[in-house]
Amino acid sequence: MDLANQSNGAAIDREGALSPARKRARRDEVQALKLAAPGILWMTLFMVLPMIMVVYVSFWTQTTFAIEPTLTVDSWVRFLTSPTYLDSIVTTLFIWIVVLASTLVIGYPVALLIGLMIRNVTLQTALLVVCIIPFWTSFLIRVIAWRPTLGTEGAINSILINLGLIDTPFTSLLFSELAVVIGMTQIYCVFMVGPITFMLARIDHSIIEAARDLGAGFGKIFLRIILPLSLPGVVVGAIFVSVMVLGEFATAAALSGRKVNMLGNIIVSQVGSLKWAFASVAGVILTIIIAIVITTLLRIVNIRKEM
């Protein structure tokens, strides 16, 4: 310790010259800054500044045809006192919770199959690619495709009628909350499957064998070993799904027949009618909700430990 201090001190004292270790450390810092610079620049220009702008605009004065930078809380008061808009917050949260739950319930077993049960890496990769194949068509087509599937004379109703299982077609399949949930679950499920699969694939099989050897049945092994070890994957998947679902508008617009209005739909329609201040209020509220959701999810596990 003393020796190190002495030699260190000596290295700096000598005409202010830096020791090789210090020089290396300084060079690494400069290097790190250079690598981070493009990202920082991009995020500042296209995320931080616009976000500040959105918050600022939400306090501007909106008239029917114009908007002027006179500060007022009018838009906020109007939003927070209108049942229609408050309902949209509830709808957004409701759709989010249901889609999050359904992607988890459908996605986890798929991840379990690909990540844990199948030991052949080639087959694992092939199945993951299969999960991604729907992405080869555009988002909009995947959403719209649910209309001829779920409609009154759509595929599901036709099949059920032809099988003689029902007499009259289900009318609530399309243009309902159910349709929105089905559509979103299909589109976002893969974002849940991926991260969970990767976490499960990292579990050493001998750990599971050890648990069996100690006398635990499948239920206990799942609950005590597999689930806790895959939890970081669940959290990452939940963050992906949450961020995308909370900001959604296209699926709701296409499959609900305008019956389901999420915050995203409000923003689109307000921007469409040039109500910038009002759209900004909805935007700020949505951002706050997303921030709270992500923070809460990150509380569940320490992601940093998994890197």
Partner 1 sequence: MLALKSVSRHYGQASALDGLDLVVPDDSYVSLLGASGSGKTTLLRIIAGFEEPDTGTISLRGARLDGIPPHKRGVGFVFQNFALFPHLSVEDNVAFGLRYREERPVRDKAEVRERVQTILDLVGLEGLGRRSVGAISGGQKQRVALARTLIAEPKIVLLDEPLGALDANLRERMCDELHAIRQRLGISFLHVTGSETEALLMGDQVAVLADGAIAQMAPPDDLFRSPTSATVARHLNAFNIISGTVREGRLRSPVGALALPAGIAAPDGQPMSVALPYDGISVKPRRDEASDGISARFVTAEFKGPSMLSFFRAADGSLIQSLVHLSEPRPPRYEPDQVYALDFDPELLIAFPERAH
Half-sphere exposure of 159 (CA within 13 A, CB side): 7
Q: Which is nearer to partner 1, 118 or 145 (CB)?
A: 118
Distance between CA atoms of residues 221 and 206, nearest Å? 12
Q: Which is nearer to partner 1, 34 or 205 (CB)?
A: 205
Distance between CA atoms of residues 203 and 217, nearest Å? 18
Q: Which is nearer to partner 1, 155 or 207 (CB)?
A: 207
Give, as ranges, the residues between 225 and 254 that touch partner 1 (CB under 8 A).
225, 228-229
220 near partner 1, judged by CB under 8 A? yes
Consecutive H or E run containing 250 = helix 250-255
Query: Least distance to partner 1 from the beta carbon of 200, Å?
Result: 14
Give the SS3 label for residue 238: helix
How many residues form the binding site for partner 1 (CB under 8 A)? 18
Q: Which is nearer to partner 1, 58 or 230 (CB)?
A: 230
Closest of 81, 87, 78, 91 to residue 278, by C-alpha: 78
Distance between CA atoms of residues 290 and 287, nearest Å? 5
With 0-12 CB in 10 A as exposed, 13-18 as middle and 19+ as buried, what is 282? buried
Site mask for partner 1 (CB under 8 A), range 97-116, x = bound: --------------------
Site mask for partner 1 (CB under 8 A), range 180-219, x = bound: ------------------------x-xx-xxxxxxxxx--
Query: Least distance to partner 1 from the beta carbon of 214, Å?
Result: 4
Residue found by looking up tokens 């596990």 in the block: 301
Query: Least distance to partner 1 from the beta carbon of 225, Å?
Result: 6
Residue 202 near residue 263 (C-beta atoms within 8 A)? no
Query: Least distance to partner 1 from the beta carbon of 233, Å?
Result: 13
Q: Where are the beta strands (DSSP E) in 133-205?
A: none
Distance between CA atoms of residues 91 and 236, nearest Å? 23
The CA-CA-CA angle for residues 112, 95, 270, to 5°, reads: 135
Query: Least distance to partner 1 from the beta carbon of 96, Å?
Result: 28
Query: Least distance to partner 1 from the beta carbon of 123, Å?
Result: 18
Query: Least distance to partner 1 from the beta carbon of 223, Å?
Result: 8
Q: Which is nearer to partner 1, 78 or 212 (CB)?
A: 212
Give the SS3 label for residue 69: coil
Q: Which is nearer to partner 1, 34 or 119 (CB)?
A: 119
Q: Which is nearer to partner 1, 164 or 215 (CB)?
A: 215
Binding site for partner 1 (CB under 8 A): 204, 206-207, 209-217, 220-221, 224-225, 228-229
